[in-house]
Amino acid sequence: MNSPANITDPLVLFMPSGKRGRFPVGTPVLDAARQLGVYVESVCGGRATCGRCQIEVQEGNFAKHKIISSNDHITPKGAKEERYERVRGLPERRRLSCSAQILGDLVIDVPQDTVINAQTIRKDADTRVIARDAAIRMCYVEIEEPDMHKPLGDLDRLKIALMKDWNLKSLDFDFYLLPQVQGILRKGNWTATAAIYKDADSETARVIALWPGLKNEAYGLACDIGSTTIAMHLVSLLSGRVAASSGTSNPQIRFGEDLMSRVSYVMMNPDGREGMTVAVREAISGLVDKVCAEGNVQRNDILDSVFVGNPIMHHLFLGIDPTELGGAPFALAVSGAVHIKASDIGLKLNQGARLYMLPCIAGHVGADAAAVTLSEGPHRQDEMMLIVDVGTNAEIVLGNRTRVVAASSPTGPAFEGAEISGGQRAAPGAIERVRIDPDTLEPKYRVIGSELWSDEPGFLDSVQATGVTGICGSGIIEVVAEMYLAGIISEDGVIDGGLAARSPRVTANGRTFSYVLKEGEPKITITQTDVRAIQLAKAALYAGTKLLMEKQNTDHVDRIHFAGAFGSFIDPKYAMVLGLIPDCDLDKVSAVGNAAGAGARMALLNRGYRREIEDTVSKIEKIETALEPKFQEHFVYAMALPNKVDPFPKLSAAVKLPPRKTVSEDGVAGDAAPRRRSREGHAARRGRE
């Protein structure tokens, strides 16, 4: 193993894991990856014969990480690598990490097509039944044959048949069909099936595709472009059945883990916008291939598509520079619904296929939040519902049929594993569940890929293929909450160093202390810095929620829905112990899965839902947390677990919370002031100001 790195050594950042470290010049990239616990497959022992350890160097100025990455910061191809490329072939820009050595600062992308234990994308479609009134209809007609005494063109006679049989009052044709009409009608022996596109009631219907004879297949795509993952559903427009679903990592993550770092990349690199647009469109095209293969469907049979995403994903997908979203007033280039042809953005489906994007709610509350709102329907009910989509930028919607308000909070990538010492994305081998015995302080955990807890017989055999490689978002939430419940950390999030005498799990780490979750290689510890990162992320989310509650003039919520793939795996109890969400009956806190994808399916299968969400979004009140004077006050209180001033009576009735105590930054424990005094102290401070 290399000697300890110093601050003059090159800094290397691996994507999409977000793990980073400094390594001496000359260190093979594969060795650096292994030291950081980044999974890069190699089965040939570094002899450059298997080709499994491929990586790509991302070039550019990555301001957030203070890295200028260049191919000049890695050694040129040597004899072994050149031999492999000559014999086996190496894709453009790819290198073999066992041969390539570090010369300077680098951002390294581990291509997901080389990774067997790739990130687990958990965005399956739900099973709800959606009433069908799609923007696409398949209309079969029989057309009069040409008659010398009636000199009417073939297309005009087709139009007459469609208007007569299907009560279409006004009808246009996509231009590309004009040269094909005569051949199609004769091939079908004067019968044909037309795909009619009619979105809004007031607009002219349009023939966008035409087949000879009877055609009884038509499909659409519902796609949620997340900043971390992309999920796609292939749906029958005739039956509403989900024919196939697939997901993939968003390749834009190599340009930055969170949204603002991607905006920064666009600002710092002239070709940044184009590079990210190309990357996401290629990933989506790859998903189309996957769902078509799984569903046994031809691309030409896909006639409609609905896409949702946060504002920055929305803009980059459409090829719009997102720079204006990087600072106040966070101006959207387009906020309303987008209606275009799929071919306008190079998406190869049927030549006449359409694309619809839901409206964005605000500068940082996007079409994905609109889709979640459509799916969960707070505007259709009397209860005060809180919807939280936890990601690198949390989107929050609160309301009922009387009023709906929305905001976003910059939680950052901590919940997804980045910025956490042992953190990683959700992949086989990642710890996703944690329990800590409050008496012994001994932990047990479960990892993705195994149903067994670490203290159960057979656990080691069950994880032999993947190992235990790190801790993902749901595990991070649980371990911090369990550390609080076990008394390892105080309500202010400080690890109690006094417990080191009681358990070897609590260890000194410079001036602070850490908790050892897993011994061995890799050793997984929860450091004081890790706890702080989680506190900052959860405080931002809670403070945003608190502002919305004030705008609604309510001190409680009736129901809480966690949306998104990450939200599906958050245990509501631990989310509340952490103070991620306000107090609520635990049986009224639920995960609703990929609600954004469900909303996209609703808009795909029923054009009435498009009108509903367009109208709803126009009425949603948008709150910009950065401009609210009380945000900082709520944020400071929310740093405590669960909260410094807000009571959690419903949580306290369901979970035994630990006695309140304070621990100084150097780990010395003491008694905490009662919660009431925190309020009084704050009032006194406000009075002095």
Same domain, 155 and 109: no
Q: Classify residue 239: in a domain, yes or no.
A: yes
What is the domain range of residue 28? Answer: 11-114
User: Is residue 208 assigned to a domain?
Assistant: yes
Last residue of a domain, one of 160, 195, 212: 212
Distance CA 204, CA 611 (A): 17
Looking at the fold, whether 351 and 384 belong to one and the same domain comes out as: no
Of 57 and 394, the one with more pLDDT:
57
Q: What is the mean pLDDT of residues 242-262?
A: 84
Instruction: Kindly state whether residues 317 and 190 are assigned to the same domain.
Output: no
**Residue 407, strand partner residues:** 396
Is 421 in the same domain as 530?
A: yes
CATH code at 350? Answer: 3.30.420.480
Query: 296 and 391 in one domain?
Result: no
268 confidence band (pLDDT: 50, 70, 90): confident
Q: Are residues 91 and 182 in the same domain?
A: no
- Domain boundary pick from 114, 147, 170: 114
CA distance 602 to 546: 30
Q: Is residue 685 part of a domain?
A: no
pLDDT the model gives residue 668? 64
Average pLDDT over residues 58-76: 90
Average pLDDT over residues 44-50: 69
Does 177 fall in a domain?
yes
Q: What DSSP character marks residue 370?
A: H
pLDDT of residue 682: 40
The 10s digit of each residue's pLDDT in 524-579 is 999 999 999 999 999 999 999 999 999 999 999 999 999 876 677 889 999 999 99
Assign 667 a pLDDT band (cuts: 50, 70, 90): low
152 and 277, same domain (yes or no)? no
- The pLDDT > 70 percentage for the chain reads 90
Is 559 in the same domain as 576? yes
How confident is the model at residue 630, as a pLDDT? 93
- φ, ψ of residue 187 to 5 degrees: the values are -65, -35
Burial class of 643 by CB neighbour count within 10 A (0 to 12, 13 to 18, 19+): buried
Domain count, the chain: 4
Compute the mean pLDDT over every residue in the chain, rounded to the nearest whole number.
88
Confidence band of 122 (pLDDT split at 50, 70, 90): very low
pLDDT one-digit tens code per residue, 464-489: 988 999 998 889 999 999 999 999 99
Which pLDDT value is given to residue 118?
47
Report yes or no: 431 and 447 within 8 Å, Cβ to Cβ. Answer: yes
Q: How confident is the model at residue 254 (pLDDT cuts 50, 70, 90)?
A: confident
Interval 116-129 mean pLDDT: 53
The CATH number covering residue 141 comes to 3.10.20.880
Is 60 exceeded by the pLDDT of residue 673? no
Q: Are residues 299 and 246 in the same domain?
A: yes
Q: Residue 81 belongs to a domain with what CATH number?
A: 3.10.20.30
Q: Given this model, what pLDDT does residue 5 score?
A: 60
DSSP symbols for 594-617 = SHHHHHHHHHHHBHHHHHHHHHHH
Q: Does the residue 70 lie in any domain?
A: yes
Instruction: Give CA–CA dist 289/124, Å, rounded.
Output: 17
- Give residue-wise pLDDT tens across range 395-452: 999 999 999 999 998 776 667 666 788 888 778 899 999 999 999 999 999 999 999 9
- Same domain? 103 vs 159: no
In a domain, 57, yes or no: yes
Give domain status of residue 2, yes or no. no
Q: What is the pLDDT of residue 246?
A: 93
Highest mean pLDDT among 141-150, 201-210, 583-592: 583-592
- pLDDT at position 685, please? 37
Q: Is residue 315 part of a domain?
A: yes
Which is higher by pLDDT, 147 or 107?
A: 107
| Percent of the chain's residues with pLDDT above 90 | 65
d(CA 517, CA 503): 12
* Residues 410 and 548 placed together within one structural domain of the fold: yes
pLDDT at 216: 85
CB atoms within 10 A of CB 163: 15
**Residue 666 pLDDT greater than 70, yes or no:** no
Residues 611 and 560 both lie in one domain:
yes
- What was the pLDDT predicted at 640? 96
Cis peptide bond upstream of 16, omega within 30: yes
